[in-house]
């Protein structure tokens, strides 16, 4: 997270099969986020701790998975619409998957210590990660990546919360 250019170059050079990024990075991090949600929401709940923890575990899983797949679809659509057919789906998936890294880490920290909720402002750093990754992984120049980074950055930052909010609206109050 601190040396993004070097990290993105290492990610670019690492060869992996179609679903390796999801299996080795995205799914484990989503599971870690959901498990910390389950454990600490169960501990911190006033009433019905286990029910609350399990329900929020499911909401966390669904919202992070949904945000990842919707963001990936948006990225694929944007790159196809702009006529850039020289891209590789593997690189696009790497970009989207690793752009969620800050979101995952901050979610885990704020689940463990809820009073650090103000750290969520650091989610904005995800837009910078998308900016660097779109240049290194996809070879976009500054003019091409402005709109792409804006849309994908907003998607990465806000979609987990939006999906979680929508799911919470459909759930009974505990």
- What is the average per-residue pLDDT within 16-32? 89
Residue labelled with tokens 């500054």 = 142
Closest CA to 63 of 153, 154, 151, 159: 159
Would you say residue 130 has pLDDT above 60?
A: yes
* Residue 48 CB contacts under 8 Å (≥ 6 apart), including other chains: 174
- What is the average per-residue pLDDT within 124-151? 88
Q: Is the dihedral of CA 73, 78, 81, 82 positive or negative?
A: negative
Could you report the per-residue pLDDT of 55-105, keeping only the tens digit for each? 999 999 999 999 999 999 999 888 887 665 556 788 888 899 999 999 999
Would you say residue 30 has pLDDT above 80?
A: yes
CB crowding 57-77: b at 16 or more within 10 Å, else e: bebbbbbbbbbbebbbebbee
Task: Give the chain as a 3 state SS string.
Answer: CCCHHHHHHHHHHCCCCCCHHHHHHHHHHHHHHHHHHHHHHHHHCCCCHHHHHHHHHHHHHHHHHHHHHHHHHHHHHHHHHCCCCCCCHHHHHHHHHHHCHHHHHHHHHHHHCHHHHHHHHHHHHHHHHHHHHHHHCCCCCHHHHHHHHHHHHHHHHHHHHHHHHHHHHHCCCC
> How confident is the model at residue 174, as a pLDDT?
55
The vertex-8 CA angle with 4 and 12, nearest 5°, equals 175
What is the percent of the chain with per-residue pLDDT over 90, rounded to a whole number?
60
> How confident is the model at residue 46, as a pLDDT?
86
The more confident residue out of 48 and 113 is 113
């Amino acid at each position: 997270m601190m040396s993004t250019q070097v990290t993105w170059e290492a990610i670019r050079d690492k060869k992996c099969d179609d679903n390796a990024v999801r299996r080795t990075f995205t799914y484990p991090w989503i599971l870690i986020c959901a498990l910390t949600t389950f454990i600490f929401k169960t501990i911190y709940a006033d009433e019905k701790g286990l029910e609350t923890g399990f329900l929020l575990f499911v909401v966390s899983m669904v919202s992070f998975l949904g945000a990842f797949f919707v963001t990936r679809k948006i990225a694929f659509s944007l790159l196809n619409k702009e006529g850039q057919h020289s891209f590789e789906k593997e690189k696009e998936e790497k970009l989207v998957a690793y752009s969620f890294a800050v979101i995952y880490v901050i979610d885990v920290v704020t689940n463990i210590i809820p009073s650090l909720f103000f750290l969520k402002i650091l989610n904005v750093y995800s837009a910078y990660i998308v900016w660097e990754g779109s240049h290194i992984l996809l070879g976009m120049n500054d003019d091409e990546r402005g709109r792409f980074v804006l849309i994908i950055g907003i998607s990465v930052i806000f979609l987990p919360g939006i999906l979680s909010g929508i799911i919470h609206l459909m759930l009974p109050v505990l």
